[in-house]
């Protein structure tokens, strides 16, 4: 717990609290439920927990629309519940990282209510307001990630305000120094309560182009940060995000963190093809973010060439361990479902994935339920809660399929998540994968996760060593992790057939989705 550089080799477990454990018997997960299940997380051997937003919110975007940055929403409990969670996590040797949404908030936040009340109030410029064009249309062509223009008309101010996501999520104007100060005060509030770090949502969305220039067009593409059904991908997002002024703010934020030794800032960067360059800027030196993750491993591609290509794109950022890697989170289809083809063994696929993840250089994130090998759930339209999915149905079914309740006990009502009907259905296909079914099974995915994380913790080469990719042989990925006194050969068969690797001093045969991590 005292290592200030713990993040460099960390395994971080993401909890989506609404779906983890209901302690209040209302069908909604809460902080008390997370505390109750901390022994499960500790038994995995992870270093830290990332908790998705639990702040006061009208929940239009499941808590990513914050109406009070310094309080817990009653559906999740109280500040006292959060303090108890931190205390118990720290007792178990787990660090707590919380999600911070600083680029935007809820339109119910008192800041925005004051800002929209007039053009002359004290917070009039705390959000991105702009006059219409002479014909009454929006100030420019910027688009919302959740569909449609990124501008909403307000009849009181007779202006448009910018929203990169829902219309009820107005973008904060970080060009205003008072906004920056207010947000940094939020960071201090949670640091003073004992949190160990922050996952910074949409960190490259903090600033917009002050001149409000139009984005140039681009052909429809397979950009990672939006589904193909979304016109957002039709633009090069040169002006509505990823502005140079962000670097100074990130330096200010890092200065706040550095006053609390051992705290970490993990940024989420969604910037399409520009993500590697953005991550390099945001993590350069020791005065900005500690590390960042992107959407580069969240796609459907699954082959032996993917990892070396991504490392090459990220260059020194990846090889220095400042890129954080993950295969799933609360925004994407679970990787067992994304990557599996008909006839594949999902258990073998899940085991390969976790051993590959812990063998990569840099911190890694796991998403709740992947340690059970959970597949994506198929949610009926009438059960959807995700505004993104409702907006783009049926071409895009949204994110609820990866947000269904955690499966604890196969034979308990609602799989042990709650005694009341959960906010999302519990898929019948998930029940055989419950924790109680896998807990003592030496061949289960859960057992493999514990073993893989223990392997990383016990080998300095996996935790902090260099990484060198070897020439690809068919569907075999091979690389060396090395540090003083230890050299490990890491092999992974991405193929659906048995494959043999020919090395300088060894010849190894791996079954489909087989792997080998050993001295060599």
Residues acting as catalytic residues:
201, 268
Positive or negative, the Cα torsion across 219, 224, 228, 230?
Answer: negative
Rounded distance, CA 347 to CA 513, Å? Answer: 10
CA atoms within 13 A on the CB side of 506: 12
Given a contact cutoff of 8 angstroms between Cβ atoms, the answer to whether 195 and 98 are in contact is yes
191 class by beta-carbon count within 10 Å (0-12 exposed, 13-18 middle, 19+ buried): middle
Quick one: how far is CA 326 from the chain centroid? 8
CA–CA distances in Å: residue 237 to residues 83, 210, 242, 270: 40, 14, 8, 11
Strands 264-268 and 95-100, bridge-based pairing: unpaired
Given a contact cutoff of 8 angstroms between Cβ atoms, the answer to whether 510 and 499 are in contact is yes
CB atoms within 10 A of CB 188: 13
Given a contact cutoff of 8 angstroms between Cβ atoms, the answer to whether 505 and 520 are in contact is yes
Structure tokens, 342: 């008909």
Instruction: State the SS3 of 470-507.
Output: CCCECCEEEEEEEECCEEEEEEEECCCCCEEEECCCCE
Tokens 């997002």, residue located: 237
For residue 8, give the 3-state DSSP assignment.
helix
Cis peptide before 394 (omega within 30 of 0): yes
Quick one: how far is CA 192 from the chain centroid? 24
Cα-Cα-Cα-Cα torsion 453, 9, 47, 347, nearest 10 degrees, comes to -30
Rounded distance, CA 165 to CA 8, Å? Answer: 31
DSSP class per residue in 399-452? SGGG-SPP---TTSGGGGS-SS--SS---GGGGGG-HHHHTT-TTSHHHHHHHH
């Amino acid at each position: 717990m005292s290592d200030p550089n713990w993040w460099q080799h960390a395994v971080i477990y993401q909890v989506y609290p609404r779906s983890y454990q209901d302690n209040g018997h209302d069908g909604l997960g809460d902080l008390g439920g997370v505390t109750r299940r901390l022994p499960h997380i500790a038994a995995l051997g992870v270093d830290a927990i990332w908790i998705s937003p639990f702040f006061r919110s009208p929940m239009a975007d499941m808590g990513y629309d914050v109406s009070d940055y310094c309080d817990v929403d009653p559906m999740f409990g109280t500040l006292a519940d959060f303090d108890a969670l931190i205390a118990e996590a720290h007792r178990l040797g787990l660090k707590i990282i919380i999600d911070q949404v600083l680029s935007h908030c809820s339109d119910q936040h008192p800041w925005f209510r004051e800002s929209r009340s007039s053009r002359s109030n004290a917070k009039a410029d705390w959000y991105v307001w702009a006059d219409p064009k002479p014909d009454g249309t929006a100030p420019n062509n910027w688009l919302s990630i959740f569909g449609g223009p990124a501008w909403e008309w307000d009849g009181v101010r007779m202006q448009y305000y910018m929203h990169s996501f829902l219309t009820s999520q107005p973008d904060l104007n970080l060009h205003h120094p008072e906004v920056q100060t207010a947000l940094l005060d939020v960071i201090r509030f949670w640091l003073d309560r004992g949190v160990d770090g922050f996952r910074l949502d949409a960190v490259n969305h903090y600033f917009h182009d002050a001149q409000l220039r139009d984005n140039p067009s681009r052909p429809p593409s397979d950009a990672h940060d939006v589904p193909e059904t979304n016109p957002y991908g039709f633009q090069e997002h040169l002006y509505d995000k990823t502005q140079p002024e962000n670097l100074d703010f990130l330096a200010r934020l890092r200065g706040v963190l550095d006053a609390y030794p051992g705290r970490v800032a993990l940024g989420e960067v969604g910037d399409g093809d520009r993500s590697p360059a953005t991550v390099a800027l945001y993590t350069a030196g020791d005065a900005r973010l500690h590390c960042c993750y992107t959407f580069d491993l969240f796609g459907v591609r699954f082959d032996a060439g993917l990892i070396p290509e991504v490392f090459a794109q990220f260059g020194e950022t990846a090889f220095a361990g400042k890129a954080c890697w993950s295969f799933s989170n609360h925004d994407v289809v679970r990787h067992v479902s994304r990557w599996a083809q008909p006839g594949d063994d999902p258990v073998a696929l899940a085991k390969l994935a976790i051993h590959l993840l812990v063998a990569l250089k840099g911190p890694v994130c796991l998403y709740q339920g992947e340690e059970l090998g959970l597949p994506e759930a198929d949610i009926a339209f009438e059960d959807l809660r995700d505004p993104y999915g409702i907006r783009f149905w049926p071409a895009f079914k949204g994110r609820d399929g990866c947000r269904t309740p955690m499966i604890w006990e196969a034979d308990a009502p609602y799989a042990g998540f709650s005694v009341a009907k959960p906010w999302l259905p519990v898929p019948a296909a998930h029940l055989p994968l419950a924790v109680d079914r896998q807990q003592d099974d030496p061949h289960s995915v859960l057992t493999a996760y514990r073993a893989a994380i223990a392997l990383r913790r016990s080998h300095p080469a996996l935790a902090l060593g260099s990484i060198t990719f070897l020439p690809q042989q068919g569907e075999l990925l091979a690389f060396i992790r090395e540090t003083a006194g230890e050299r490990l050969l890491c092999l992974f068969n991405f193929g659906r057939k048995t494959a043999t690797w020919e090395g300088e001093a060894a010849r190894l045969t791996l079954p489909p989705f087989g792997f080998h991590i050993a001295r060599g």
